[in-house]
Amino acid sequence: MSQENGVDHGPAAREVATPPSQEGRLERAIGAEVRRLRRASGATLAEMSVRTGISKPMLSKIEHAQTSCSLTTLARLADALDIPVTAFFRGADTEREAVHTRAGAGARIVARGTRVGHDYTLLGGLRGQHKRMEAHLVTLTERSEEFPLFQHPGTELLYMLEGRMVYSHGESNYELLPGDALQIDGNGLHGPRDLMELPIRFLSVVAHPDAGIEE
């Protein structure tokens, strides 16, 4: 599915997770990696203390981001775990976005063919370089004699939640029942062909190709 006109934003359509404060972010990232790598090695705090010569209370403070590590301390930890020092900085300089859409609060998509009884609700879509996937909840409650056909780059996955319909893709038609899934190449013309049992609800998840990469 592809929108062509605009978006009618409902109340509280997007709730973006607030990142933790910048203060102490490096300590938290390092502490989390130290704990993860220590556990992955099977070592207890006491065993790590023996290996590194760092006291157990100090190791606990490092893992819980209650103190800052010197490079010398990180080097000793890295030697004990047989990893490069840079491994402790994984994820320390990157913030990740998340979109939380509450029930009934998604943005309503106004696209070609949108009409009474045909509702397209955006459930989530990250911005910028991460906008490679969009999820929509599609609800069809009114029969139509004509249906819009969609075409877009990327891949689309349909998952039926309720009702029964025939969905067309290119020259092929597929009967979809609750629990059925249909994955299609978005470049082929596609859309509902026959609404057999109303109401119909299905998820539409579109994976966009990377910018600059032709399919």
- Give pLDDT tens digits for 100-116: 667 766 666 555 555 55
Determine the Cα–Cα distance for residues 110 and 141; give it in Å rounded to an integer: 16
The stretch 141-156 carries a mean pLDDT of 83
Helix axes 56-63 and 25-41, enclosed angle (nearest 10): 120
Residue 27 reports pLDDT greater than 60: yes
Question: Mean pLDDT of all residues in the chain?
Answer: 79
Q: What is the pTM of this model?
A: 0.53
Instruction: Report residue 123's pLDDT band, with 50, 70 and 90 as the boundaries.
Output: confident
Query: Nearest-CA neighbor of 44 among 26, 29, 63, 66?
Result: 63
Q: Mind listing the domains of the chain with CATH numbers? A: 6-14+98-207 (2.60.120.10), 25-89 (1.10.260.40)
Residue 13 reports pLDDT greater than 80: no
Residue 151 reports pLDDT greater than 70: yes
How many other C-beta atoms can be found within 10 angstroms of the C-beta atom of residue 179? 8
Mention every residue, 6+ apart, whose C-beta is less than 8 A from residue 116: 142
- Gyration radius from the chain CA atoms: 25
Element (H, E) at 202: strand 190-207
Per DSSP bridges, beta strands 181-185 and 107-110 are unpaired
State the pLDDT at residue 182.
Answer: 97
- CB of 119 within 8 A of CB of 138? yes
Higher pLDDT, 32 or 122: 32
Residue 15 reports pLDDT greater than 50: no
Query: Nearest-CA neighbor of 206 among 185, 192, 191?
Result: 185
